[in-house]
Homo-oligomer: A and B are copies of this chain.
Amino acid sequence: MSTTTPHEAVVLIHCPDRPGIVAQVTNCLNDVGGNILDAAQHTDFQSGTFLQRLHVSWPDQAPDVDAVDAALAELRDPLQLNWRIQWSGSLRQVAIFVSREDHCLHDLLLLRRDGQLNCRIAMIVSNHAGLADVARRFDVPFHHTPVAHSGDEQAEAVQRALLDSECIDLIVLARYMQVLSPTFVEAYRDRIINIHHSFLPAFAGGRPYHQAHEKGVKLIGATAHFATANLDDGPIIEQGVTRVTHRDRVEDMIRKGRDIERTVLARAVRWYLEDRVMVHNGRGVVFE
C-alpha cells in the first residue's frame, strides 16, 4: 500500500433533524473501520435541520473508499442524508483573483508556503498586470485577463477556460475589484470566497471606508463571505473589526483595514480548506 493512500477524511453531513442520527452515522462509519477523531454538530431548529462535521481516521487499515461511500449511501433514504467526503490525500486546486492591491495575496501565498493552507495555488488571475512579479516570486502561474467592465462576457469566458484547465475547486477573490456575472458566480456556487472591506451588512457596495468615515463609526471591519448573484449578500464565513477614531482619515482607515482584511480572508480560506464551512439557509456554519 502506498504512503499516499488516504487514511483520514472529513465527512460533512446534513439531513432533517430526528432522534438517533448521531448513533446511526457513528455506527455506519465504525462499521467500515473508521474512528471518529472529532465531531461537531449543529441543529438548526428553525428549519429542523441537523448538520455535522466528522473528522475520521482509519487506524487499522486503509479505508475501502467505495465501501465507505456505499455505507453512507445506505443512510440516504432512512435519514434523507446529504453528505460530502474530503479525503486527506486529495489536494484542492485554488485560483486567486486579484486587481492592484496585494496585501491579501501576499498573506495567502506565505501561508501556503508555510504549510498552513491545505491546497495547491494553481493560478493567480488579475485584470491588471501589476502583480505578475509577486506571482513569479512564488512560482505561481499568473494570467492577466483585462476586464472591460463588470460582468464582461469575453473576459469571463477566458477566465472560466483557465479555471477549467486546472479543475479549480475554489476561487478566492483577494481584493478583486470587478463584479462577476451571476452566471459565473452560479457556476461556482459556494466555491467563491470574497473579502469585503466592511463589516457587512453595513457599508455594502463601493468605497466602504469612505462610507464609514462619513458616518463617523468607531469600529471598521471586514467580511469574508461566499459570493452570490446578490452582491455583498452571500453567506458570511468570518468577520473582524478594529477601532477607529474621529482622527482617522479615510486613508488611515484603509491602512488599518488592511490588517483585518487579510487576517479575516486567510482564516476563512483556511477553514474552508479544512472542511469546516457549510452553508445552510443562506448562512455560513463554521465548525471552528
Report the minimal beta-carbon distance from A214 to chain B, rounded to whole angstroms.
Answer: 8
In the complex, identify which listed stretch (A6-14, A35-43, A78-86, A156-164) lies at the interface while the others stay far away: A35-43
Report the minimal beta-carbon distance from A277 to chain B, rounded to whole angstroms.
Answer: 10
Number of interface residues of A (CB under 8 A): 59
A145 at the interface (CB under 8 A from B): no
Bound-state Cα–Cα, A149 to B237, Å? 40
A239 contacts which of B200, B218, B247, B255 (Cβ < 8 Å)?
B218
In the complex, per-residue mask of A234-245: 1 if CB is within 8 Å of any chain B CB, else 0: 011111110001
Are B217's CB and A239's CB within 8 A?
A: yes
Are B200's CB and A246's CB within 8 A?
A: no
Are A288's CB and B60's CB within 8 A?
A: no
* With known contacts A23-B27, A110-B106, A218–B238 Cβ distance under 8 A: yes
Q: Within residues 198 to 243 of chain A, which ones have a CB less than 8 A from any CB in chain B?
A: 199-203, 215-219, 221, 235-241
Most buried by B among A57, A246, A263: A246
Closest to A111 in B: B255
List B contacts of A110 (CB < 8 A): 102-103, 106
Q: Within residues 271 to 288 of chain A, which ones have a CB less than 8 A from any CB in chain B?
A: 280, 282-286, 288
A183 at the interface (CB under 8 A from B): no
* With known contacts A22-B39, A241-B241, A247-B42, A216–B284 Cβ distance under 8 A: yes
Copies of this protein chain in the complex? 4
* With known contacts A236-B215, A239-B218, A245–B286 Cβ distance under 8 A: yes
Closest to A224 in B: B218
Report the minimal beta-carbon distance from A68 to chain B, rounded to whole angstroms.
Answer: 15
Report the minimal beta-carbon distance from A129 to chain B, rounded to whole angstroms.
Answer: 18
Q: Within residues 52 to 101 of chain A, which ones have a CB less than 8 A from any CB in chain B?
A: 57, 59-60
Are A236's CB and B259's CB within 8 A?
A: no
Report the minimal beta-carbon distance from A153 to chain B, rounded to whole angstroms.
Answer: 32
Are B43's CB and A216's CB within 8 A?
A: no
Are A216's CB and B282's CB within 8 A?
A: yes
* With known contacts A286-B246, A288-B245, A236–B221 Cβ distance under 8 A: no
Bound-state Cα–Cα, A203 to B217, Å? 14
In the complex, per-residue mask of A166-200: 1 if CB is within 8 Å of any chain B CB, else 0: 00000000000000000000000000000000011
Given contact pairs A22-B36, A137-B137, A218-B238, a sample of 11 additional A-B residue pairs in the complex whose CB atoms are under 8 Å apart: A19-B60, A23-B36, A36-B41, A38-B41, A106-B106, A199-B219, A201-B202, A216-B282, A216-B283, A219-B241, A246-B280
What are 11 A-B contacts with C-beta separation under 8 Å?
A19-B60, A20-B35, A23-B26, A23-B36, A102-B110, A106-B110, A216-B284, A218-B237, A218-B238, A219-B241, A246-B286
| Pairs A-B, 6 closest by C-beta atoms | A216-B283, A19-B35, A22-B36, A202-B202, A23-B30, A218-B239
